[in-house]
Amino acid sequence: MSSPANSLPKTLPKTLLAGVAGGIVASLAMDLFQKGAASLFDQSGSNDDPATVKAADSVKRAVTGDTVTQKHRESAGQLVHYVTGAALGAGYALAARKWPETTAGFGTAFGVGVATLLDDVAVPAFGWGPAPGETPASTHAYGLASHVVFGVALEGTRRLVEAVD
Give residue 165's pLDDT: 84
Assess whether pLDDT exceeds 80 at residue 45: no
What band does 46 get if pLDDT is binned at 50, 70 and 90? Answer: confident
What percent of the chain is modeled with pLDDT above 70?
94
Give residue 1's pLDDT: 42
16's CB contacts (< 8 A; 6+ apart) are: 90, 93, 94
What band does 44 get if pLDDT is binned at 50, 70 and 90? Answer: confident
The overall pTM is greater than 0.75: yes
d(C-alpha 151, C-alpha 109), whole Å: 7
Q: Each residue of 43-68: b (16+ CB within 10 Å) or e?
A: beeeeebbbbbbbbbbebeeeeeeeb
pLDDT, averaged across the chain: 93
What band does 39 get if pLDDT is binned at 50, 70 and 90? Answer: very high
Assess whether pLDDT exceeds 90 at residue 10: no
- Mean pLDDT of the 122-140 span: 96
- Mean pLDDT of the 71-90 span: 98
